[in-house]
Each structure stands twice: as structure tokens, then as C-alpha cells.
């Protein structure tokens, strides 16, 4: 098992969110359907917001938390997750939603694992608050999906 400091784990999480946004960018290039483009834009915005929140946690005021060492076995390959999806040019809103939900669940599992393995109460609180943000954003996904279907 590998150990990393919280600040390094947050960097990994930020990178994973960046990869997801890049993936949605690629999907945008494969369609000209307005509803899907709008949903992809909403998804990119949602993931970028979480990435920015993670960046705020990396500020100096959290130094005591950022230097906490945590067993970090959750550094799975996002590429392997994305390979599960065979997206063709005629992909549907439902396929985009399936990708979003699957990636959200994958990231949520990583955060739950970090909460469980964090030796510090403050580090657990940090990851728990990030998980709460994700849960709220996941609820927003349902609204985004409904809006995309109504257009």
C-alpha cells in the first residue's frame, strides 16, 4: 500500500477532474446535437467547480491537514474507467448521463475510502466536506438531465 500526503491526494483528485472535463470536451467534438452539447457544458462546469473547490483546500491555511499522511490505494486509473464507454457519434443524452453517473460514483468511492483511512479527524472532515459537495453536485446532475430532455 502506498502513502501520500493529503496535498498530493488533492492534486491527484484535481487531475482526475481535469481528465473528466477533457473527456467531455472530446465528446463535444463528436456531436452537433444541441441538447447533448448543453448537457456536456453543464457537466464540464460542474466538474470544474469541484476542481476549483479542491484547489481552495490546497491553500496554506490548511497546512496541518495537507501534510497528513494517508494510505492511498484509491489511485485507480481514470483511463480504465473511461475505456468502459464506447461513445459513437450518435451517442444519446442517456449515454452522457451514464458516463457522468459512473464517474461520479467512482470519485465518490475514492473519497469514501479516503475518509475511512484518514488518521486525522481534520483530514476526514476535509474529505467529507468534499464528498458533500460531490453529492450536492450529483443532485444537480438530475436537474441538468431533466433540462436537457425538456429542450
pLDDT tens track for 113-140: 999 999 999 999 999 999 999 888 888 7
Q: At what angle do helices 93-117 and 34-57 cross, to 10 degrees?
A: 10
Q: Model-level pTM greater than 0.75?
A: yes
pLDDT value of residue 72:
82
- pLDDT value at 92 more than 90: no
98 band by pLDDT with thresholds 50, 70 and 90: confident
Backbone Cα Rg of the chain: 16
Type and span of the H or E element at 5: strand 3-5
* C-alpha to C-alpha distance for 24 and 148, rounded to whole angstroms: 15
Which letter, b or e, does each residue of 1-31 get, where b requires 16 or more Cβ atoms within 10 Å of its Cβ? eeebbbebbbebbbebbebbbebbeebeeeb
* Cell (9 digits) for 72: 492511498
- pLDDT value at 87 more than 80: no
User: Does domain 3-150 sit in CATH 3.30.700.30?
Assistant: no
**DSSP states along 7-49:** HHHHHHHHHHHHHHHHHHHHHHHT---HHHHHHHHHHHHHHHH
Domains of the chain, by residue range, sit at 3-150
- Region 25-43 average pLDDT: 90
* Cell (9 digits) for 139: 443532485
pLDDT value of residue 49:
92
Residue 61, Cβ density class (10 Å: 0-12 exposed, 13-18 middle, ≥19 buried):
exposed
Amino acid at each position: 500500500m502506498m502513502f501520500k500526503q493529503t496535498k498530493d491526494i488533492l492534486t491527484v483528485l484535481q487531475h482526475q477532474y481535469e481528465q473528466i472535463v477533457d473527456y467531455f470536451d472530446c465528446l463535444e467534438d463528436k456531436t452537433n446535437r444541441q441538447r447533448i452539447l448543453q448537457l456536456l457544458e453543464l457537466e464540464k462546469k460542474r466538474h470544474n467547480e469541484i476542481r476549483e473547490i479542491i484547489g481552495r483546500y490546497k491553500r496554506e491555511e490548511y497546512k496541518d491537514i495537507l501534510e497528513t499522511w494517508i494510505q492511498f490505494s484509491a489511485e485507480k486509473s481514470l483511463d480504465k474507467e473511461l475505456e468502459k464507454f464506447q461513445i459513437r457519434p450518435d451517442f444519446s443524452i442517456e449515454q452522457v448521463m451514464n458516463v457522468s453517473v459512473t464517474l461520479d460514483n467512482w470519485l465518490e468511492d475514492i473519497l469514501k475510502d479516503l475518509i475511512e483511512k484518514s488518521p486525522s479527524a481534520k483530514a476526514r472532515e476535509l474529505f467529507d466536506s468534499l464528498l458533500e459537495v460531490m453529492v450536492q453536485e450529483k443532485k444537480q446532475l438530475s436537474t441538468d438531465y431533466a433540462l436537457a430532455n425538456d429542450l
